Chain A
Amino acid sequence: MLPLFVIAPLLFGGFISLFMRGRSHIAGWTAFAFSIASLILAAYEVLYSFGKAYSITWFAISGLVVHISMSIYTLNAILLMLVALVTPLIMLYSIGYMDVPSERPRFFFEISIFAASMMLFAISANFITMFIAWELLGITSYLLIGFWYHKERVPYAARKSITTILIGDMAMLSAMVLIWNAFHTFNFYSIMASPYINAMQIPLLLILAAVFTKSAQFPFHEWLADAMEGPTPVSAFLHSSTMVKAGVFLVALLLPLFYEAHLLYVILAFGIATAFIGATNAIAERHIKRILAYSTMEDLGIMLVALGLHALLAAMLFFIVQTFYKALLFMSAGSIMKANDNAENIYLIKGSTKNRLLFISTLFGVGSIAGIFPLSGFFGKVAIDSVASNIYVYILLTVIEFASSIYIFRWLFIPMRDPLTKGIDAELTAKYKNIPKTMLYAIAVLALLVAIGGFAYAYLPGLPYAGVFANTYMPLHISLVSGLTETIAVLLGISVTYYIYVKMNLKGMSSHRALHTLLYNSIAVNWVYSIIAAAFYEIGGIVNSFDYALYWFIVMGGDGLVFIAERLRRIVNGQINAYAVAFAAGIILLVIIIAV
């Protein structure tokens, strides 16, 4: 079966739910059912077509043949299964979450297309197919981030994301042109199999730029935190298996090329810088979802660090476990917000312990993100620590782990506080009880996945890896020293947080403190963005004046053409004898052409 069919149910379900304006209460269930169908097809595909590649001719023009190529190799299978698994959970969660009936059809349509494009991305085996999926991801993420477009800040957040992503798209397109010129093929595996040429460095750097915009790496990371304006299921999806993972996945797929071009250190440097920025910002942030967004940035940074260390297996292990815990945490955040009347500031959110199922599941997620043995996050993080041969990288990673345990337990502890007055407390308890069941079930399933995700550690090394340099990848192992160091760092982080936020019951830090400014550098980055934007705006003004001159030229030309057209129109005067004369003239014209 062609892997392309995996996305067919999702596309179909998306369009069906779009036209369910009258029956919006079942739109969600429809989309859910079709996403289950996609999951079944994906599982079938991974079981029975594993290790196969497919190619169909999209179009052949004058000798130029463009293919739609797909493959189900190990990396494709991992991402495909992750997306296929998470999509139904997201749908299930959204059924409870979307309480605005009139917007449901649009929501489930957009999220189905979003999931379908990520699946297409997962199975793509050449740049053309990948780029189609890449663009679809960009445009659907824009629509989803801007879903509540009538709210005040939302359109700006959506515009910021699409602007950043479009920069990457341009880079990707230029890279594709250069690669075509060099290899005359778009197929990933043919490119990796052909001898390396020096000119590849520039396209690879351009691809990295595109990856950094998609995966929100420094200096293109700010859109991710602003993307929190979108509905929570979208954030859960965007940060776990789709969109931001696309960039990291592409680097993993093309890792042999980056290795040969000696660009691994670039990936490493940007990854570690982003991880650091993400972790520090998360400590100072107060918005419940933005903390998680900065945490995602950190996670993606660490994945790139692992890839920069040429440890594909460790990166993929973290890739898998991060999907589950990040989806879980976003869903928990969404549920807690729902019970607190959509309050976003963690200092205003109360009583997160009131729903036991929710709280226990959240604990799984928090434990996993901090890296507590034996939850899946532990394996992911320690596997990367264990391959960090460079001592500086190792120290930085440990510091980041310490920071991440601080911010995530801060995220956990502060909303645990109960409201001071009894009346509000009872009201809040009722609200926690009223969280829709579908949301809680999705969270519980994810908690289970988080608990058992560590088993991927045992399975990953046994899988076959395509690519010429497969045998030079760093092996996957967990050293005892790294495990102990990590555990100590995390426990230290927990105790510090517990002391500050539970024992001392500290209020929020003043935003004027120097420490806060140092940690929360998001403002500074945005300031730089605005300067760059202003510069481009100036350039745009100059271009605009040229454009205006051109416009006048076109208007004049248009007037001239209409003048000619008016004359020309009169040839057709309705007189058949005139037409016969024209015919005779035409024959004479043809004879003259032949004669000369």
Chain B
Amino acid sequence: MASIEYFGYALFALLALLALAAMAAPFHRRKKVSFVLGAVILAAITLTASYLFASGSSFYLLNIFRIYPFSMLFVGVFSILLLLVMALSYDAPGSFDSFFMLFGFAALGIVMVPMASSLIGLLLSLELASIPTVFMIAINGKKFIESSVKLLIMSGIAISILVFGMALAFPYDAQLSLVQIGSASGPIEGSYLALLALVLFIGGLSIEAALFPFNLWVPDVYEGAPANMSAMLSGINKKVALVAMMEISFAMFAVYSSTYVTIFMVLSIFTMFFGNLAAMVQKSVKRLLAYSSISQAGYILVGFAAASQYGLEASIFQMITHSFMIIGAFAVIMFLENQGIKTIDEYRGMSSRNRYLSIALSLLLLSMAGVPPLMGFDGKFLLFTSAIKSDLLALAFIAILNSFLSIYYYGKVIIAMYQPKKEERIVAPKAIIAVISIALFVIIIFGMYPQPIISIAAKAASALLGI
């Protein structure tokens, strides 16, 4: 056994520790202990994953985990993002102990999705990620029940469809492993059953990934859930579904790429237009961000549609970018929501209330709109270039048109914040400031110097495509 595999087992042990810490939380009921334990374990996971990523090794662990650069990148990124969400939730209303128990299991699921080596593992991890999320929304009070039930029903539909898809894929590969099914059991070109399975997978995952028309629940749930959970749903859970979609389409069904490229293209166009157009007429900033996050999923799909090394590289880059942007933005929203500031009208004169928050939110929104030198610009630039390289000129044009449309509603919020109106000052808690500052730091520094992120994204993309 190579020594690098020990790190794989260490990762495994850390995941087990996380689960243990989560289970212990409701018993000892010490907020601080849970938080520190969670933070240390997540940080350790990040470090281990980055070491494994840097080593570039690729192997199976106990036949259920696949350790390779693609999975390790997302394990690392998701752990950092989970850390941010945990910091946000620390001071949120509601019991942190029960939150932490659910959070630990959700984190376990989230981290395991990119590592799963078979469809079964993938499905179980997805479930593990989504079911605790439902309850994490619900534990905060009665007014959150509606959105958590909506999420539960939609996840239920998603999982049933995914299982159906799995059943259809079974004849092609009894192991249900995530390697290319074409190579596993002879040529399957033209087999409609496999294609149907693919469609069901994409449809099922589209629910969590918020692609039109599977995403109508998104605005209700994001708006109805507490803002830290909205941050988690759009910053992490959505990316988890996109990662699963990437693995299934580009690793398992790679031989059908010419077919599903069209699906991704259509979904991308629909999602971008739906998100951007509906966001234009929103009054609540949180709902506006929900629609904006829908449209961002559409941009990410542009890279899927390009279906090349560059395209996936760009998609991965934009997934990381968007996670940081949206978690930072929801951190601002969360604080303001607790102050009773919700609609764009109420945002007027924000700059006189708290200068740092309004600068931060403006920068985050500008980054989402794709203004240089922020990271959102680099992501979009990569995506559109990759689309043009793959001869999808029309798609690139539509995506650029959509970025143009998005300026309208992002600008509306920024303008409102800087309208001269004297309001009394408000002071944000340190945890929220810290999360916002980290998000800002990332989008500014890697916006100006994107090469480190581009190269890790490229490494992950080529690992996924097996190049």
On A, residues with C-beta under 8 Å from B are 56-64, 558, 561-562, 564-566, 568-569, 571-572, 574, 576, 578-580, 582-583, 585-587, 589-591, 593-594
Contact = CB atoms under 8 A, between A and B. Distances in A.
A587 B200 contact: yes
A571 B378 contact: no
B213 A585 contact: yes
A62 B206 contact: no
Interface stretch (B9-17, B149-157, B237-245): B149-157
B216 A582 contact: yes
Classify chain B's interface size.
Answer: 35 or more
A57 to B, nearest CB: 5
Contacts of B263: 590, 593-594
Nearest to A566: B281
A60 B259 contact: no
A562 B217 contact: no
A583 B277 contact: no
B117 interface: no
Contacts, number: 97
A566 B200 CA distance: 31
A576 B151 CA distance: 10
Contacts of B175: none
Interface string B200-213: 10110011000011
Given A579-B216, A580-B157, A568 B382 contact: no
In the A-B complex, the 6 residue pairs with the smallest Cβ-Cβ separation, listed nearest first, are A565-B277, A586-B213, A579-B216, A582-B213, A590-B199, A565-B281
Nearest to B161: A587
B216 A572 contact: yes
A62 B386 contact: yes
A583 B160 CA distance: 13
5 contacts: A62-B382, A579-B216, A580-B157, A582-B214, A587-B200
Contacts of B154: 576, 579, 583
Interface in B240-286: 259, 262-263, 266, 274, 277-278, 280-282
B451 A568 contact: no
Contacts of B214: 582-583, 586
Contacts of A568: 274, 277-278
B338 interface: no
Contact of B449 (A58, A63, A558, A583): A58
A576 B153 contact: yes
B199 A587 contact: yes
B450 A590 contact: no
A62 B449 CA distance: 16
Given A565-B277, A587-B200, A590-B199, A60 B454 contact: yes
A558 B411 CA distance: 14
Contacts of A582: 213-214, 216
B386 A594 contact: no
Nearest to A585: B213
A61 B262 CA distance: 24
Contact of B378 (A59, A586, A590): A59
B196 interface: yes
Contacts of B381: 61
B213 A562 contact: no
Interface in B193-235: 195-196, 198-200, 202-203, 206-207, 212-214, 216-217, 219-220
A590 to B, nearest CB: 5
Interface in B136-172: 149-150, 153-154, 157, 161
Contact of B150 (A63, A558, A565, A576): A576
B455 interface: yes
Contact of A576 (B217, B405, B454): B217
B259 A594 contact: yes
B271 to A, nearest CB: 11
A307 to B, nearest CB: 34
Contact of A586 (B153, B206, B278): B206
Nearest to B150: A576
Nearest to A582: B213
A564 B277 CA distance: 8
B195 A594 contact: yes
Contacts of A579: 150, 154, 216-217
Given A60-B451, A60-B455, A579-B216, A561 B199 contact: no
